[in-house]
Chains A and B, each alone.
Chain A
Amino acid sequence: MSIADKYNAIRIAAVEKIDKMKEKPHVLVGTATCGRAAGALTILDVFREEADKHQLDIIIDEVGCMGHCYAEPLVVIAKPGFPTLCYGPVDEGIAKRLVVDFLVNDDPCYDFAIAALEPNDEFPTFEDFPRGVIEKKIILADCGFIDPNDIDHYLARDGYAALAKVLEMEPYAVIEEVKSAKLRGRGGAGFPTGVKWERCFKAEGSPKYVICNADEGDPGAFMDRAILESNPHQLIEGMIIAAYAIQASTGYIYVRAEYPLAVARLRNAISQAREKGLLGDNILGSDFSFDVIIFQGSGAFVCGEETALIESIEGKPGVPNHRPPYPATCGLYGKPTVINNVKTLSYVPHILRKGADWFRSIGTENSPGTAVFALAGKVVGTGLVEVPMGTTIRELVYDVGSGIKDDKMFKAVQIGGPSGGCLPESSLDLPIDFDSLQEAGAMMGSGGLVVLDEDDCMVEIARFFLDFTQKESCGKCTFCRLGTKQMLDILTDITQGKGSLEDLNILQDLAEDVKMGSLCSLGKTAPNPVLTTLKYFRDEYEAHINEGRCPALMCKDLITYIIIPEKCSKLCDVCIGSCPTEAIYTRPDMLKAIYLDKCVKCNNCMVACPPQYKAVIKVSPPIVEEKEETVEGGKEDE
């Protein structure tokens, strides 16, 4: 039997199985980590119990992440005769109603639906919303709609077709195709994937290795995890293709141990792929053999750096090495090694199936394809989004993300996490691609995109990211170990109102030197958040230094919480109960006030104060009126 015949046999079996399933009503519950956090497992149980109770003949499946985090837990219901609908956020009550009203009876409960999955006459689809118009899903397309625990779902959607095709090509032709697609590494730096493969292909030494870098450690990005949990086979197929191209026999997936669900779903996917003859010896009857080992990373951000990752797999501390030599020529155990990010490898099957021309037709000339972002922060539509390269930040924030929460003022976007930078309003029309972001001082990085509003202090943001990289520095090289510490100390002083203008110059100089002098990309990019905020938001730094004032009212040491008597109500005392340190007292006139010396600035009272009063406010610079406070306190005591 030829490779194509073998593949067709397993694909047709899968299609038949899935078609048969589609004859019955089908409930999909998104149970990736994000969904679980929002209570998806409870919802899953409710559907199962209710279905039992009503003796329904339906299929209930767990799926991955659909990317609409703002509406978790998400449920998709496909009932023959109705448009397939997506519901969210679904609570227990809604789940019960969906079973009774929709599955038992025939009312699709449009009130709870967000969108339909395919065009119909009844309900708008995701494509009918601004987000859907801009979004172009390639690697997220199947996430949340296929069962990651059942390989047949992937196979039925032409999964592994690219592999079957590739196995009949010359390995070098595969590399040519990826080169021609101009696929660039999605791990952050955007190095051309095909060139990397070519170097490894031509390098002497054997065996060769393929490593998938799934050590996602950016504190605001989770798309790799979502892809692993939602569509593991897409990645595995990409890895096998990469391995065939460079003729590697072993692959590693380096995945964070903090992602237990991703690890479990990957393990399951790997064993199913082996059963179908898609992994292991003589894949699909060819003479190519390849297998994948899962290596669990132990939580060190620096291991995202490829030379550190290799050290880690070899059983050592994850300390980076000087490059060159690059892993492509001298990698794992000194052998030629290709290391690609989860997203990069996930594009590979699509490119091989649909061709390099198709891929280049999406996105921009030098950054073809799409970009995946974890949209978070002060934006309405938080979630995982996939847009063509070249989409502007404005479109991403306002159309895809539906704008800023609570009608606040946009201040900046932080793109690329700890290695990226903060871009101000004037950059809103910047097209997102590898090169223009780099020019603006940010970086595609891992794809975290945090929207910041008027309440976010840019000095504090810079301090936060530097605190992260400083804690995650491996400590090997002087600049990163000590330079980031020096910078952090300066930033901490500024956020506490103890900085000087001279400090700003030292900070700028140090940032430039750490960027230039560090050994690895962690150190080389760590100053980016500082450099961009210094460039675009210097006035905020100066307000902290010159006036002891935090304009965004965020830096704890520079604010005071007060209760405005004119707004406070005599009849209300919720703030008193909310205070963990008994810092709020009732004045003789029954209005409430705060002992400044007892207040720990926990923000509880501000949240607790009913919206009709909004009497608690923050002021900056902080109030240091010892006198008034003791007098009032004294009165109260009497």
Chain B
Amino acid sequence: MELLPGELEQIKAETAEILQQHGTERQELIPIIQEIQERLGYLPKPAMEQVARALDIPEVDVYSVATFYNQFRLNPPGKHQIKVCMGTACHMMGGHIVMDSFERRLEIKEGETTPDREFSLERVACVGCCALAPVVLVDEKVEAKVSPIRVDGILLTFEIEKSEQEKVEEKEQQEGGVEE
């Protein structure tokens, strides 16, 4: 993945700041990369290199940890994150059908991000709201008792939001043009 101009500097600065607040023992590794992901949304390669240097461990050890745990992402996530609960209760109440619907509508598989980076689709183990199954987390908001129809509804809301925003932007641009 290519970084945009300025991104590398930002990654380095943020990582350095986080590293400053931690010791250099091996057990700091997971808390450090958790914080990096919280700030940057994912674990960029330069950040992992920087962490490895600070803790004086091989980079591949950081990579081992980053690829082992579900939490860590090596690529930037989509603008909207959709997490379908695949806990037992949700599965029994049709969670897999909901996942299918998202896959079909977004034309991506679980674990992927749409090419326009609007949506990423993930599965999560039990969210702990089994009585409300099947459950979907849309940008951390819990959607309860989701049906395939609701899937369409959720995505439609985002589409409308986006097109309205585009209209506003377009209008602004046009108005800007008139002024010139």
A and B touch in the complex (CB under 8 A): yes
Interchain CB contact under 8 A, B69 and A300: yes
Residue of A nearest to B32 (CB): A315
Cα A251 to Cα B92 with chains together (Å): 38
Q: Is the interface of B mostly helix, strand, loop or mixed?
A: helix
Residue of B nearest to A35 (CB): B129
Q: Given contacts A315-B30, A602-B100, A603-B148, is CB(A448)–CB(B88) below 8 Å?
A: yes
Interface residues on B, range: 35 or more
Interchain CB contact under 8 A, B128 and A33: yes
Interchain CB contact under 8 A, A377 and B92: yes
One of B6-14, B112-120, B131-139, B166-174 contacting the partner: B131-139
Assess whether A169 is interfacial by the CB under 8 Å rule: no
Interchain CB contact under 8 A, B28 and A301: no
Interchain CB contact under 8 A, A34 and B131: yes
Cα A222 to Cα B64 with chains together (Å): 29
Interchain CB contact under 8 A, B125 and A468: yes
A34: B residues at CB distance < 8 A = 128-129, 131-132
CB of B36 to closest CB in A, whole Å: 12
Assess whether B26 is interfacial by the CB under 8 Å rule: yes
Residue of A nearest to B25 (CB): A315
Contact of B28 among A315, A318, A448 (CB under 8 A): A315
Contact of A220 among B34, B71, B87, B144 (CB under 8 A): B87
Interchain CB contact under 8 A, B131 and A70: yes
A312: B residues at CB distance < 8 A = 30
Contact of A219 among B64, B87, B104 (CB under 8 A): B87
Interchain CB contact under 8 A, B71 and A376: no
Q: Which among B91, B142, B144 has the highest number of chain A CB atoms within 10 Å?
A: B91
Cα A603 to Cα B28 with chains together (Å): 48
Interchain CB contact under 8 A, B27 and A376: no
B149: A residues at CB distance < 8 A = 578, 604, 607-608
Interchain CB contact under 8 A, A316 and B65: yes
Interchain CB contact under 8 A, A298 and B34: yes
B91-121 contacts to A (CB < 8 Å): 91-92, 94, 97, 100-101, 104-105
Interchain CB contact under 8 A, A317 and B65: yes
Assess whether B124 is interfacial by the CB under 8 Å rule: yes
B125: A residues at CB distance < 8 A = 217-219, 258, 299, 301, 468
Interchain CB contact under 8 A, A315 and B26: yes
Q: Which among B27, B65, B92, B142 has the highest number of chain A CB atoms within 10 Å?
A: B92
Interchain CB contact under 8 A, B92 and A604: no
Cα A300 to Cα B30 with chains together (Å): 13
Contact of A38 among B71, B72, B144, B148 (CB under 8 A): B144
Contact of A37 among B86, B87, B89, B144 (CB under 8 A): B144
CB of A337 to closest CB in B, whole Å: 14
Cα A257 to Cα B125 with chains together (Å): 12
Cα A543 to Cα B149 with chains together (Å): 32
Contact of A298 among B30, B64, B86, B101 (CB under 8 A): B30
Cα A326 to Cα B144 with chains together (Å): 42
A599-624 contacts to B (CB < 8 Å): 600, 602-604, 607-608
Q: Given contacts A219-B87, A317-B64, A450-B92, is CB(A376)–CB(B69) below 8 Å?
A: no
Assess whether B16 is interfacial by the CB under 8 Å rule: no
Number of A-B residue pairs with CB-CB distance less than 8 Å in the complex they form: 144
Assess whether A225 is interfacial by the CB under 8 Å rule: yes
Cα A315 to Cα B142 with chains together (Å): 31
Cα A578 to Cα B148 with chains together (Å): 9
Residue of B nearest to A296 (CB): B34
CB of B84 to closest CB in A, whole Å: 12
Cα A38 to Cα B68 with chains together (Å): 33
Cα A218 to Cα B71 with chains together (Å): 16
Interchain CB contact under 8 A, B94 and A37: no
Residue of A nearest to B61 (CB): A316
Assess whether B56 is interfacial by the CB under 8 Å rule: no
Assess whether B130 is interfacial by the CB under 8 Å rule: yes
Interchain CB contact under 8 A, B26 and A376: no
B59-90 contacts to A (CB < 8 Å): 61, 64-65, 68-72, 86-89
Cα A219 to Cα B70 with chains together (Å): 14
Interchain CB contact under 8 A, B89 and A220: yes
Interchain CB contact under 8 A, B88 and A450: yes
Assess whether A580 is interfacial by the CB under 8 Å rule: yes
Q: Given contacts A37-B132, A414-B88, is CB(A221)–CB(B65) below 8 Å?
A: no
Assess whether A276 is interfacial by the CB under 8 Å rule: no
Cα A70 to Cα B135 with chains together (Å): 14
Contact of B142 among A36, A318, A376, A603 (CB under 8 A): A36
Cα A448 to Cα B89 with chains together (Å): 10
Cα A257 to Cα B101 with chains together (Å): 28
Interchain CB contact under 8 A, A315 and B126: no
Interchain CB contact under 8 A, B152 and A222: no
Assess whether A238 is interfacial by the CB under 8 Å rule: no
Assess whether B127 is interfacial by the CB under 8 Å rule: yes
Interchain CB contact under 8 A, A299 and B88: no
Assess whether B50 is interfacial by the CB under 8 Å rule: no
Residue of A nearest to B128 (CB): A222
Q: Given contacts A377-B88, A580-B148, A607-B147, is CB(A299)–CB(B128) below 8 Å?
A: no
Interchain CB contact under 8 A, B130 and A69: yes
Assess whether B31 is interfacial by the CB under 8 Å rule: yes
Cα A374 to Cα B133 with chains together (Å): 14
Cα A257 to Cα B34 with chains together (Å): 9
Interchain CB contact under 8 A, A383 and B131: yes
CB of B18 to closest CB in A, whole Å: 15
Interchain CB contact under 8 A, B130 and A452: no
Interchain CB contact under 8 A, B147 and A417: no
B92: A residues at CB distance < 8 A = 377-378, 450, 452, 456
CB of B70 to closest CB in A, whole Å: 3
Interchain CB contact under 8 A, B100 and A600: yes
A266-313 contacts to B (CB < 8 Å): 295-296, 298-301, 312-313
Cα A296 to Cα B33 with chains together (Å): 12
Q: Which among B25, B86, B132 has the highest number of chain A CB atoms within 10 Å?
A: B132
CB of B42 to closest CB in A, whole Å: 14
Interchain CB contact under 8 A, B129 and A300: no
Show 10 residue pairs from A and B whose CB-CB distance is below 8 angstroms, ordered by the A residue.
Answer: A38-B131, A219-B88, A222-B130, A315-B25, A315-B65, A317-B64, A318-B69, A417-B88, A448-B88, A452-B92
A interface residues, Cβ below 8 angstroms from B: 33-34, 36-38, 69-70, 72, 217-222, 225-226, 257-259, 295-296, 298-301, 312-319, 374, 376-378, 382-383, 414, 417, 448, 450, 452, 456, 464-465, 468, 474, 578, 580, 600, 602-604, 607-608
Given contacts A38-B131, A258-B71, A316-B64, 6 further A-B contacts (CB under 8 A): A72-B131, A316-B26, A452-B92, A602-B97, A603-B148, A604-B149
B interface residues, Cβ below 8 angstroms from A: 25-31, 34, 61, 64-65, 68-72, 86-89, 91-92, 94, 97, 100-101, 104-105, 124-133, 135, 142, 144, 147-149, 152
Which 8 residue pairs of A and B lie closest in terms of their CB atoms, listed nearest first?
A: A220-B88, A222-B128, A299-B70, A298-B69, A69-B131, A317-B68, A37-B142, A376-B130
